[in-house]
Amino acid sequence: MKSFFSAIVLTLATATTVLAAGGDPLPAPTKKGTPRDAAPSVYNEGLALVDAGDFLGAEAAYRRAIALDPKLPEAWNGLGHALKKQKRYDESLAAYDKALALRPDFPLAMQYLGELYVETKQIDKARAVLAQLRPLDEQNALKLEEAIFVGSVDW
């Protein structure tokens, strides 16, 4: 069984579909008439700050993006990721819950929520998230499954 998960880990390590920062950049808005239109750019700033290891700065950027557009699930997911990296698990959980309330089929938010449950030793909850995630996105499901199997996450 371990060799199976070793192969999965190797495959996942070489995958490049999701940035380490917690998501993919959002495209620039086609119009720039309202403050809400700036939210994707501010969200992208948060991604860059996470890549640089500045989780406090990323948190601030994600909070600014949310202030501009409270219905941007990527910003809530990014906030959850930045808070998780700071080990502020209760706040991270609330952010993931908000991301998933806005987009219930958001695979990356589901994966990260499941990993948060693994990190906080709530394995049954992580397995429940995995069951919801598996039909939506096999790659993210495999990452969560490996974290559950190992009993920890490598953030």
Decide if 41 is inside a domain. Answer: yes
Domain-located, residue 49? yes
pLDDT of the residue at 127: 98
Q: Is the residue at 16 inside a domain?
A: yes
Residue 25 in tokens: 């950049």
Q: Is residue 48 part of a domain?
A: yes
Cα–Cα separations (whole angstroms), residue 84 to 14, 40, 80: 23, 21, 6
Given a cut of 60, whether residue 17 has pLDDT beyond it is no
Band the pLDDT of 35: cuts 50, 70, 90.
confident
DSSP letter string over 123-144?
A: HHHHHHHHHHHTTT-HHHHHHH
* Domain-embedded: residue 23: yes
Angle between helices 55-68 and 39-51 (to 10 degrees): 170
User: Under 8 Å CB-to-CB from 56, ≥6 apart: which residues?
Assistant: 82, 86
SS3 23: coil
Residue at 155 is within a domain:
no
Expressed as residue numbers, the domain containing 38 is: 2-150
Is 66 contained in some domain?
Answer: yes
Lowest mean pLDDT among 34-43, 95-104, 112-121: 34-43
Measured from the Cβ of residue 145, the count of other Cβ atoms closer than 10 Å reads 20
Identify whether 96 is part of a domain: yes
- The model's pTM is 0.81
State the total domains in the chain: 1
Find the CATH number of the domain harbouring 99: 1.25.40.10
